[in-house]
Chain A
Amino acid sequence: MTFTPLDELLLFSGATLLVALILGRGLAAGWMVTILYGGQLLTLIKMAALGYSDTIIHASISFEIMGQSLSWRFDALSWFFALITVASALLSSWFSCGEWERSFKQQGGNVWLYHSAMALNVFTMLILLASGDLLSLFIGWELVSWAGFLLMAMAGGVATRAAMRYITYAMAGGMAVFGGIALVYVAAGSLQYEAILTAVDQMSSTQLWMLVVMFGGGFGVKMGLLPFHLWQAPAYAETPGPGSAFLGAISSRMGLFAILLVLVKLFGIVNIDSLKIPFTLIDARDLLAWIAVFTIILPTFTAMKQNDARHLLAWHGIGQGGYMLLGVVVADAMGGAGGLLHVFNHATYQAALFMAVTAVIHRTGTSDLNKLGGLVVRMPLSFMVLLVGIIGLAGLPPMNGFVSKWLVYRSLLNEGMPLLFLAAVIGTLGTILSVYKLIHNIFLGQLRIEHEQVKEAPWSMMIPMLILAAIIFITGLFPGIPLAWVASVQEVIGLPATDYTLGGVESVSGSLDMIWVIGVLFAGFGIGAVIFYSAGRSKRVHQLDNYAGGHFLSADVRYQYSDNFYAGLMHLIGGWYRSSFLWLEKSVTSLVDFFSLVMQGLYRRANAEFYLLSTALFVIAWVVI
C-alpha cells in the first residue's frame, strides 16, 4: 500500500494528537508538538502542486457504511485552508512553548489538555477540509465543533459559560446542516458531490431555498454571520492565549470553507442568484450580501465598545468574516479573489494581534484596556508587531489587508453595488477607529507605574510574532504569492479566476500593483523623513514629559486617556444596535425556558388518567368521525 501525501498529512496530524495525548504532560511536549506541526506543514508544501492547479489528491482510506460511502480528498480549496490551519497551529504552538506554558501551568492551567485540544482541533479541521462527500463533510463539521468546544471550555469559569453558549449555537447550526443533508440526500439520492451537482439543476426553487437557508444558516453560525454572531467573541476571547490566536485565525473560517464548498461550488452562485424573495427586489444572493455587510458593520462597532483587548479583537474577527463572504458573494474574479485572499490575510494579522496581546498579558497580567498604557517603551517589538497587525486589520497599505479589501471594494464598484460599497467603507472606518483604541490604550500614552519593570516578551513568543509580521508585510508587498493559490481555488469552486501578477492584479476591470504602491509610499515616507530631519526642528522628549491644560504634571501622576473611549461617537450610534441581538437571544432562551416549565408542569400535574382518557377519546373520535 502506498501512501498518498494526504494520507501522510492525516497520519502526521493524528500522530501529533497521539503525542500530545501521551507525552503532553512531559517537559518538552510543546516543542515536540510544534515540530510535528512543522512536519505537517512540510507535507502540505509537498502537496504544493495543489495550490497551482486543479488536481485532486485522494486519501487511500474510504468507508462504506450503511449504504453511504465516505471518502476524503484534497483539492486547491482544501489545500489553501489547510495551509492556513497548519501554519497558524504551528505558530501558535511555537508561541506557547517555553515561557507561556510555564506560567499557564503556574496559574493552574492544564497544559496537557491544551496541547491535546489544539492537536485535536487541527486534526479535525484537516478531516473536515479533506472531506470528499457531504457526509464526511458533516462528520468533519461536527468533529470540529466539538473539538472547538473542548479548547474553549478548558479554561473554566467564564470560558465554560461562553463555550456552552457556543456549543448550543453550534449544535443548532449543525442540526440545520444535518437537516439540509437529509434533504439533499432525498433529492439527489446520494451524498457524493458529483451526484449533487447534477441534481441541483432539477431542484425546484422551493427546495433550493430550503437548502440555502439550512446550509447557509448552519454554516453561518460557525462564521458568526449576523443573527448568530453572539457566541463567537466571548468564546474566542476567553480561550487561553495562543489558543485564541489559533481559533481567531482559522476556526470560524471553516464556516466559510463549507459555504464555499456547498453553496458556491455545489449549488452554484448562479442558482442562488435566481432565488427571488417574493414581493421584494432582492434575491437570495443579495440577502447573503447584505447579511455579510451587516456582519461587517455591527460587530465592528461593538468591538469599539470593548474594554478588553482580546474581546475587541474577537469582535473584529466576526466583522472581517463579513468581508470574506461579501467578496465571495459578489463572485466576479476580483471579488472572489478579495474574499479568499482576505481569509489568508486575516489569519496572519489576527494571529499576530492575538499573540501580541497575549504577550502583553503574559508580562502585565491583564488585558483590560483601561489598565494598560505606554508599554511601547518596555515592549517595543511587541508594539511593532501590533502596529503591523492593526494596519493590516484596518486595510491600509502597505500591509496585506489592504490588498484584499481593495479587491473587494473594487469588485463592488465594478459590479455596480454602491450601497454595499458604502456600507463596507463604514465598516472599515469603524475598524480604523477601534484598532486605534487598541494600540493607543496598550502601548501609547504614559507607562503605568506598576508596569515599569515589565520586560519585552520572551523570544519563544517573539519569533512567531515576528514571522507573522514579516508575512503580513511580504504578502502585502507581493500579493501575487497567495493570489496564485487563490486563483486556483477560484477555479476549483467554479468562480472566474483572477489574473494576478506578483505585485497584485492586472485586468481590464482594474489593476493593482502593490510593489509600485509600496514603493511610492516608502518614497513618500523617505521624502517626509528627509524634510523632517533636514529641518532640524525636532526635539526628543521623554514619555512622561507632557502637560495638560498648560499645567505640568508631576512624574508620579500618569496621564492616559483611555476610559470611555469614543464617548461621543458611542453616544451617537449606540442606541441603534445596543443589545438588540442580546435581547433576541434572551427571548429565545426564555421561550425555551417557558416551554420547559410548561412541559414539566404537564408531567407534574397528577392527572395521568385524564390524559389517557382524553387521548383515547380524541384518537378514537378521529377514527370514527
Chain B
Amino acid sequence: MRNLTGLLFAGGLGFMLLSIAINLDFGTPTMLIGGAIQSNALQKTGATNIVTSVVLGYRGIDTLGELSILFAAAASAGLILGRRHTTAGTQTAGGFVLRHGGSMLFPLLMTIGFYIIFHGHLSPGGGFQGGVILAAAFFLPLLARPGAQLHHGTLSLIEGLAGASFVLIGLIALQQGKAFLQPMLIQDTLGVLLSAGTLPLLYLAVGLKVGAELASLLSHLAQTESDA
C-alpha cells in the first residue's frame, strides 16, 4: 500500500514539475548574467574557458565552499572510519595485471592529471577533473599492493596546504586593496598557458586538494580494520 502511494506520489510530483518546467523558454535563455559574463570574462579573468572563469572568478567563493565541503566530507569520513588504528592496504593483494598495470599507469595518470589542471582555463577540464585523475593515480598502487602505505600525513599536508593556498591567494588580493579572491596578474593574451594570472594557481590548488581529499577518502574506504 505504502509502496503504491510512494510510487504514485513520486510520479505525480515528477509530472507536475514537468508541467511547470515545460512552460519555460527552452533553448532561448535570457542569459542576463551569462551574456554579460561572456563579453567581459576575458578582460576580467584572462581565461578562454569561460566556465573556468566563472568557477574560479565570478563564483570563486562557491568553489571555495565546495572545496570546504569535500574537506568536511573527507574529515568526517576520517572521523567515522579512521577512529581506530588501521593497517593500511586492501584486503586482497592485486592480481598481475593490476600490479604491473598500476605501476605503469601511475606516471601516465599523473601527467594527464596535471595537464588537465593546468589547461583548465584554456580548454575543458580543470582542477576537479584533474584532481580526480590524480586521486586515481594515488589510489591505484593501493589497490595493487596490499602492503602499500598511503601516506596519510603527506595527503593531509597536501590537502591542508592546497586549501590554505586557495584562501591565501584570495587574501593576498584583499591585502593589495582588491576584493577577496579577485583574479590578479592577468595578461591580455589569448590561449597561452600563463595568460590567466592567478587562475591556474587556483586550479592547481583545487586539483591538488581534490586529489588528496579523494585519495584519502578512497583509502579510508578501502582499508580494513585490524579489529573490525
Note all chain A residues with C-beta closer than 8 A to B16.
617, 620-621, 624
Cα of A616 to Cα of B15 in the assembled complex, Å: 12
Cα of A610 to Cα of B10 in the assembled complex, Å: 9
Is A613 touching B9 in the complex (CB atoms < 8 A)?
Answer: yes
Cα of A610 to Cα of B5 in the assembled complex, Å: 9
Note all chain A residues with C-beta closer than 8 A to B95.
none
Q: Which residue in chain B gives the minimum CB-CB distance to A614?
A: B9
Asked whether any CB of chain A lies closer than 8 Å to the CB of B24, the reply is no
Note all chain B residues with C-beta closer than 8 A to A610.
2, 5-6, 9
Cα of A621 to Cα of B12 in the assembled complex, Å: 9
Q: Which residue in chain B gives the minimum CB-CB distance to A625?
A: B16
Is A624 touching B13 in the complex (CB atoms < 8 A)?
Answer: no
Asked whether any CB of chain A lies closer than 8 Å to the CB of B33, the reply is no
Note all chain A residues with C-beta closer than 8 A to B10.
613
* Chain B 9-26 near chain A by CB (<8 Å), digits 1 or 0: 110110011011000000
A-B contact count (CB 8 A): 25
Is B20 touching A624 in the complex (CB atoms < 8 A)?
Answer: yes
**Min CB distance, A220 to chain B, in Å?**
47
Interface residues of B in 15-52 (CB under 8 A from A): 16-17, 19-20
Note all chain A residues with C-beta closer than 8 A to B19.
624
Is B13 touching A620 in the complex (CB atoms < 8 A)?
Answer: yes
**Min CB distance, A619 to chain B, in Å?**
10
Q: Which residue in chain B gives the minimum CB-CB distance to A616?
A: B13
Cα of A621 to Cα of B6 in the assembled complex, Å: 16
Cα of A541 to Cα of B2 in the assembled complex, Å: 87
Given contacts A624-B19, A624-B20, contact A617 B12 (CB under 8 A): yes
Which of under 10, 10 to 19, 20 to 34, or 35 or more describes the interface residues of A?
Answer: under 10
Cα of A71 to Cα of B2 in the assembled complex, Å: 60
Q: Which residue in chain B gives the minimum CB-CB distance to A621?
A: B16
**Min CB distance, A359 to chain B, in Å?**
69
Cα of A114 to Cα of B202 in the assembled complex, Å: 71
* Chain A 563-591 near chain B by CB (<8 Å), digits 1 or 0: 00000000000000000000000000000
Interface residues of B in 49-64 (CB under 8 A from A): none
Note all chain A residues with C-beta closer than 8 A to B5.
610, 614
Is B9 touching A617 in the complex (CB atoms < 8 A)?
Answer: yes
Note all chain B residues with C-beta closer than 8 A to A616.
13
Interface residues of A in 196-216 (CB under 8 A from B): none
Cα of A621 to Cα of B17 in the assembled complex, Å: 9
**Min CB distance, A481 to chain B, in Å?**
77
* Chain A 590-617 near chain B by CB (<8 Å), digits 1 or 0: 0000000000000000010010011011
Cα of A624 to Cα of B23 in the assembled complex, Å: 12
Q: Which residue in chain A gives the minimum CB-CB distance to B6?
A: A610
Note all chain B residues with C-beta closer than 8 A to A614.
5, 9
Note all chain A residues with C-beta closer than 8 A to B13.
613, 616-617, 620
Is A620 touching B17 in the complex (CB atoms < 8 A)?
Answer: yes
**Min CB distance, A7 to chain B, in Å?**
58
Interface residues of B in 161-206 (CB under 8 A from A): none
Is A613 touching B17 in the complex (CB atoms < 8 A)?
Answer: no
Q: Which residue in chain A gives the minimum CB-CB distance to B11?
A: A617
Residue among A613, A614, A617, A624 having the largest count of chain B Cβ atoms under 10 Å: A617
Note all chain A residues with C-beta closer than 8 A to B9.
610, 613-614, 617
Note all chain A residues with C-beta closer than 8 A to B12.
617, 621
Cα of A620 to Cα of B17 in the assembled complex, Å: 8
Cα of A617 to Cα of B14 in the assembled complex, Å: 9
**Min CB distance, A351 to chain B, in Å?**
65
**Min CB distance, B177 to chain A, in Å?**
44
Note all chain A residues with C-beta closer than 8 A to B6.
610, 613
Note all chain A residues with C-beta closer than 8 A to B17.
620
Cα of A617 to Cα of B13 in the assembled complex, Å: 5
**Min CB distance, A505 to chain B, in Å?**
75
Q: Which residue in chain B gives the minimum CB-CB distance to A618?
A: B9
Q: Which residue in chain A gives the minimum CB-CB distance to B8?
A: A617
**Min CB distance, A419 to chain B, in Å?**
59
Cα of A599 to Cα of B5 in the assembled complex, Å: 21
Cα of A620 to Cα of B12 in the assembled complex, Å: 10
Q: Which residue in chain B gives the minimum CB-CB distance to A624?
A: B16
Note all chain B residues with C-beta closer than 8 A to A620.
13, 16-17, 20
Cα of A544 to Cα of B20 in the assembled complex, Å: 97
Q: Which residue in chain B gives the minimum CB-CB distance to A613?
A: B9
Cα of A610 to Cα of B9 in the assembled complex, Å: 9
**Min CB distance, A236 to chain B, in Å?**
53
**Min CB distance, A614 to chain B, in Å?**
6
Cα of A616 to Cα of B19 in the assembled complex, Å: 15
**Min CB distance, B67 to chain A, in Å?**
29
Q: Which residue in chain B gives the minimum CB-CB distance to A607?
A: B2
Cα of A614 to Cα of B13 in the assembled complex, Å: 9
**Min CB distance, B13 to chain A, in Å?**
5
Cα of A401 to Cα of B55 in the assembled complex, Å: 88
Note all chain A residues with C-beta closer than 8 A to B20.
620, 624
**Min CB distance, A611 to chain B, in Å?**
11
**Min CB distance, A416 to chain B, in Å?**
66
Interface residues of A in 474-505 (CB under 8 A from B): none
Cα of A364 to Cα of B10 in the assembled complex, Å: 75
Cα of A362 to Cα of B50 in the assembled complex, Å: 92
**Min CB distance, B147 to chain A, in Å?**
43
Cα of A616 to Cα of B11 in the assembled complex, Å: 12
Sorted nearest first, the 3 A-B pairs with minimum C-beta distance are: A617-B13, A617-B9, A613-B9
A-B CB contact pairs (8 Å), 25 listed: A607-B2, A610-B2, A610-B5, A610-B6, A610-B9, A613-B6, A613-B9, A613-B10, A613-B13, A614-B5, A614-B9, A616-B13, A617-B9, A617-B12, A617-B13, A617-B16, A620-B13, A620-B16, A620-B17, A620-B20, A621-B12, A621-B16, A624-B16, A624-B19, A624-B20
What 7 additional pairs, Cβ within 8 angstroms, besides A613-B13, A620-B13, A621-B12?
A610-B5, A613-B10, A614-B5, A616-B13, A620-B20, A621-B16, A624-B20
